[in-house]
Structure 1
């Protein structure tokens, strides 16, 4: 079903242990969401045998996330891009800065009024793009776009795989109400236990 809206854009800072496994801070509001575009790059391998393809393997390599937002505050910019805020509360971007990975969560409203929820487990952002224009006869809003690269997380799930995205649709069969109501309280952890 088609989506007709986008809101509730959150991020969670990541802390890594000695083995690189992630733990997530409590999610914080990133900004008011305007657009979200997610592209995925796959690695593909084809095994040829008996003059034709015998096996095909496609695996997630990385993705790109482009977010159009209303504004990015100083603290959020610091958390996402690695810039610094000086003693005068001025955001300073330096050539040596680099963003630390964060998890990104949001939801998209479907035409039936239900929502599809997302968590991207590991995203590294670059400095936001800015587009400005002079005021003419009409008012034109200018807003930042921030782009990030999506990676799989280092920490394996309960099936010893490395997830890069979690997605659930409100109201689907088997989806617990607690999964939906708690979606932005913590970064969702995959659960492969049986007997639910």
Structure 2
């Protein structure tokens, strides 16, 4: 049966450390209340012609641009994901700060009660732009947005998604966000092997 995504929730993140082909994630933590998310993965294709016609299509997948709209990013989270330092509520913004690599996760909710879970596994956020507007007779919410760029890990994976409407996913639904999803679970089920992925679990659950 066809269904549709009608909601968005549970924005989380985890720090990423890579060492060669091995990578490790930290604890999964809340990011901010989620109003909207735009995820745009660039692709490029080139058609090769021979014998007066197209014969081959060469394609490649590039970076993924993410725009997050939220009510407010907690200052501690904002400082961390942009590589800044916060002391007693004060951030002294530095131009030479280096944002950490993180994984970003969220949940799309469907009208039939199913969910689609998403992990973007490696990316950095830039300093957000801010719009300010004076208060008028009718209050108007002024939301915050932040943009990030996400790329592939050393194992070539750039995104992991799971959908509870697909048979077999139920065993992952409640633990998808306990940690950044370990894809070796899938390869062990199918009898395959892969390089080691280390994760640190959190106490948080899936949406």
TM-score, structure 1 normalization: 0.88
> Where do 5+ consecutive residues of structure 2 fail to align?
192-207
Partner of 1:174: 168
Partner of 1:192: 187
Q: Is the contact between residue 98 and residue 126 of structure 1 (CA under 8 Å) also seen in structure 2?
A: no
> Deviation digits for residues 61-115 of structure 1, max 9, x if unmatched?
11110001122123211221111113x4302221112312110000011111211
Matched position secondary structure for 1:95: coil
Matched position secondary structure for 1:76: helix
Q: Is the contact between residue 46 and residue 55 of structure 1 (CA under 8 Å) also seen in structure 2?
A: yes
CA RMSD of aligned residues (A): 1.6
Q: Is the contact between residue 13 and residue 79 of structure 1 (CA under 8 Å) also seen in structure 2?
A: no
Matches within 5 A, 1:24-173: 24-86=25-87, 88-154=88-154, 156=155, 162-173=156-167
Q: Is the contact between residue 105 and residue 117 of structure 1 (CA under 8 Å) also seen in structure 2?
A: yes
Matched position secondary structure for 2:72: coil
Structure 1 Cα separation of the partners of residues 61 and 93 of structure 2: 31
Partner of 1:159: none
Structure 1 Cα separation of the partners of residues 38 and 4 of structure 2: 15
TM-score, structure 2 normalization: 0.84
Structure 2 Cα separation of the partners of residues 75 and 83 of structure 1: 9
Partner of 1:7: 9
Matched position secondary structure for 1:79: helix
Structure 2 Cα separation of the partners of residues 21 and 100 of structure 1: 17
Equivalenced residue count is 186
Q: Is the contact between residue 83 and residue 97 of structure 1 (CA under 8 Å) also seen in structure 2?
A: yes
Structure 1 Cα separation of the partners of residues 53 and 182 of structure 2: 40
> Where do 5+ consecutive residues of structure 1 fail to align?
157-161
